[in-house]
Amino acid sequence: MTPHRYLILYKPYDVLTQFTDEQGRATLADYVPVAGVYAAGRLDRDSEGLLLLTDDGRLAHRITHPRWKLPKTYLVQVECVEGPPDQSVLMQLRRGVIVKGQRTAPARAELLSRPPDLPPRAVRDYHPTAWLRITLREGRKRQVRRMTAAVGFPTLRLVRVAIGPLQLGDLQPGAWRDLTERERQALFRAVGLTQ
């Protein structure tokens, strides 16, 4: 039996989290020349960062299923018309905010003291910005963007930097690599799977 593949990719901005597109937009196929793998989870076209690709359906299911509550961490650049988010805003994010009529699950949220060391990407800069680190254990569609908008701080840039024990590290946009054996074992433990 052929062993499964486990890859991490830094999905660039403006790339679809799929391998084909009838409209000719950029897809994962433009970056990952590995047959048979698919994304375990999604990132919106206008988001970037860590994406796990695998041909192991059992693992992909556990990563995306809410039961396992695998934490996902994002660096979020937000627009600050009237100053950066204060502690009351961070507490709202931590407790959960109402998005589309439902309260989000509690999240970890912190204001970064300086911009993170990320590959540069132009964003509109009509107003000052701030960076947040937000960790979720649920994954609703466009959740981080909707959460920051709900507290008055629209997201300008969103970069996923961790999925459970996996870290984006120093990968650059469009670059990918196989997981190390240590990373693979840690990921399996995080979702309750054995070898």
- Residue 30 appears among annotated catalytic residues: no
**How does DSSP assign 86-126, residue by residue?**
-HHHHHHHHH--EETTEEPPP-EEEE-SS-----------S
Q: Which pair of structure tokens corresponds to residue 41?
A: 């989870």
Q: Is 123 left (phi over 0), alpha (psi -120 to 50) or beta?
A: beta
77 touches 139 (CB < 8 A): no
Cα distances (angstroms) measured from residue 74 to each of 4, 158, 161:
27, 7, 6
Selecting among 14, 21, 30, 44, the annotated active-site residue is 44
What is the C-alpha end-to-end distance of the chain, expressed in Å? 14
Q: How many CB atoms lie within 10 A of CB 195?
A: 5
- Please name which of 44, 182, 130, 60 lies closest in space to residue 52, comparing C-alpha atoms: 60
Report the catalytic residues: 44
